[in-house]
Amino acid sequence: MKRSIALTLVSVLLLAGCTAPLQTGSNDGGTVGPTISVSATGTASADPDLAVVHVGVESTAEAANAARGQVARTVGRVRTALSDAGVPDADVTTTSFGIAPVYDYGRGERELVGYRAVHAFAVEVGPDRAGEIVDLAVGAGATSVDGVRFTLSDDRRAELRATALDRAMDAARADADGIADAAALSVTGVRRASTGAEFVPVPIARVEGAADGGETVVRPAPVTVTATVDVTYSAR
């Protein structure tokens, strides 16, 4: 009885000073002893190993089919330039395509003046080729570059997530041991553990401008993967 009272008092004091609760007893009426629940975060960083360049081709003509044909021919030239540069066709994928009427409202009423066709696609390459791909696409007729996104391949992302999870679990155990020491207890094992969705912020890229006719240089920042765990430990 004295031990039960002492644990309850320590639990109250801990709850007043931190977010990791110490609990005694059992929710199902059994006797399982005290538990300690903590949340912790781990991170792992690395340079990106994948760049996704978003480019587009746009054309306007009096007829919808004419606008479509103009865009198709330009996209063909862009794809050929990318293929000649060693980019596999499988790494060039369409992200959107559309044809829409264009109206003029200058005379106070809507007047159809033509049609606009837009074909946007993404090109996946190594990070060191991002600037080169921008220049190739624009040189072959692309009318827009809608951004360069640096990220991680699936395999590299899985490696970093595993590392981040290991670090999160290490941090969780350290917190649990600290709470247990303050309560004159010892952690004996894991009762429950869960993790949420990983967080991968988009790294900031630095674009280095060059004189007219110069090459585009894009330098990415490292990518950080963050993992969070919620762990309940048994204690005695």
* Residue spans per domain, the chain: 2-47+165-235, 50-151
Task: Give kind and range of the element (H or E) at residue 65.
Answer: helix 64-84
pTM of the model: 0.73
CATH class for domain 50-151? Answer: alpha beta
> Residue 199: which residues within 8 A CB-CB, separation 6 or more?
225, 226
Is 129 within 8 Å of 62 (Cβ atoms)?
no
Digit-coded pLDDT (tens) for 64-82: 999 999 999 999 999 999 9
Digit-coded pLDDT (tens) for 78-104: 999 999 999 999 999 999 999 999 999
CA dihedral 132, 212, 145, 116 (to 10 degrees): -130
Rounded CA-CA distance 14/21 in Å is 7
* CATH no., domain 2-47+165-235: 3.30.110
